[in-house]
Structure 1
Amino acid sequence: MNTYTATINATEYPPHLKHKVIFETFESLQPQESMLLVNDHDPKPLRLQFQATHPDGYDWEYIEQGPTTFQVKITKR
């Protein structure tokens, strides 16, 4: 069973706050802790942003890949 330190449902935030909330939540994680991101589309642009800002600092694992719901487990290394 997966346990998450935090769950972010990105659909509950206005567009200009989504990435801010996600990155603030990620920064608050301790190493090896995970957050669950829930979204209504594939968060590929967010993954590119993680690659740019935390190239070796996270793991990205799809839990659900659409078509209407995407869930991603993001673990801080």
Structure 2
Amino acid sequence: MAETKLDVREIPPAERHPKIHAAFDELESGEALTIVNDHEPKPLFYEMQAEKEEFDAENYTVERRTPTEFLATFPKK
């Protein structure tokens, strides 16, 4: 599976979700977007689940690497 990585920790919070949505929209079916975030992106998970029919919520993963580094992978159907 091809993967795109986006570090959003330096992006102002109000701009994060639009950038993540845009990056996800650019993916082809079967690819995934991995974001590096400073907190667990649970609200983003629910947002993607509600708004993106092509989001593969069953294969979503999140890994806490440090207290301020989370890797969350959003696969596209």
Alignment partners' CA distance in 1, 2:68 and 2:9:
12
State the match for 2:43 in structure 1: 45
Length-normalised TM-score, structure 1: 0.82
Residue matched to 1:68: 68
Q: Kindly indicate whether residue 3 of structure 2 is the aligned counterpart of residue 8 of structure 1.
A: no
Q: 5+ unaligned residues in a row in structure 1: which ranges?
A: none
What is the CA-CA distance between 1:3 and the residue it aligns to? Answer: 5.0
Identical-residue share of aligned pairs (%): 31
- Alpha-carbon RMSD across the aligned residues, in angstroms, is 1.8
Is there any run of 5+ residues in structure 2 with no aligned partner, and where?
none
Distance 1:20 1:45 in 2: 14
Q: Distance in 2 between matches of 1:71 and 1:32?
A: 19
- Cα separation, 2, equivalents of 1:3 and 1:32: 7
Aligned partner of 1:40: which letter? D
Contact 2:2 2:30 in 1 (8 A): no
TM-score, normalized by length of structure 2? 0.82
